[in-house]
Amino acid sequence: MNILYVDESGDDGFDKNNIYNSGSPSKYFIRTGLVIHDWKWRSINQKVNEFKVKWNLPSNLELHATEIRRGKKRVKGKIVTNEFGLMYPSFKDRVKILKDCCELISQIEEITLIFVVIDKRKIDTTHINFREMPKEKSWEFLIERYNLFLESAKDKTGIIISDAIQEKIESIHRDFARALFHNSTHIKEYHFVESILFEPSDSSNLLQLVDIASYACFRYYNSDDNSLFDLINKKILIGSSGEIDGAGLKVWPI
């Protein structure tokens, strides 16, 4: 069975004047999928553990891209140094952690990446449902591309696992179901379990990998920084004609 690990980067909010910068609300909302086969899970999981050992990181420390880059976190309204900042106070070293993690993703042959990029600046804000479009369309396009991957795979069955952010679980279930059963017109027969599973990202090395990949894509589109994305773009799902645009990399609207 194939497993699609899912994470998101950026936010799905809108600026009232439709003016965006590299901050919040972000110009782009990114939903990312990382596909592996279950029989490769153990070896990939071990490689992530070895990566943490290499960087002297505790095995239970979550690889979270924004916290690695910032070296800080918010606790009770205050910004404090996190474990990455304590262990690697140099910004250069923390960026090196991110780059090494992207290189790890690139080196693992069995990983396939799918990116859905929602350009919120181009969404028609006069549409009655425009505020739901980043979430719903990103799920719709990701589901379609995962189904495309499974159709051409030897093992055509799959499941989907998302980060278990407790306050979002019900909303994610609803957005996922709407995208699958109501919005998508391209899936006649889907090859994955018609639901979504949840796992805390701090206990899942694979969800941590997809967080890093999603952040790399977000930096590329939202901040014109390709330093991470260029390291992983060869893992993007390729279409039948050898292209990634529209296949493993879907930008909407265009």
pLDDT tens digits along 52-91: 999 999 999 999 999 999 999 888 788 899 999 999 999 9
DSSP 136-198: HHHHHHHHHHHHHHHHHSSS--EEEEEE--GGGHHHHHHHHHHIIIII-SS-SS--B-SS-EE
Q: Distance between terminal CA atoms of the chain?
A: 34
- Number of Cβ within 10 Å of residue 252's Cβ equals 16
- Its CATH class, for the domain covering 2-59+96-252, is alpha beta
Residue 254 reports pLDDT greater than 90:
no
pLDDT tens digits along 83-124: 999 999 999 999 999 999 999 999 999 999 999 999 999 998
Average pLDDT, the chain: 89
Distances in Å between the Cα of 129 and the Cα atoms of 136, 143, 144, 178, 204 are 10, 20, 21, 13, 34
Q: Whole-model pTM? A: 0.91
pLDDT reported for residue 86: 95
**Mean predicted confidence (pLDDT) in 164-178:** 67
Residue 243 reports pLDDT greater than 90:
no
**Mean predicted confidence (pLDDT) in 221-242:** 93
Q: Confidence band (pLDDT; 50, 70, 90) for 20?
A: confident
Domain regions of the chain by residue span: 2-59+96-252
pLDDT tens digits along 179-220: 666 666 666 667 777 778 888 888 899 999 999 999 999 999
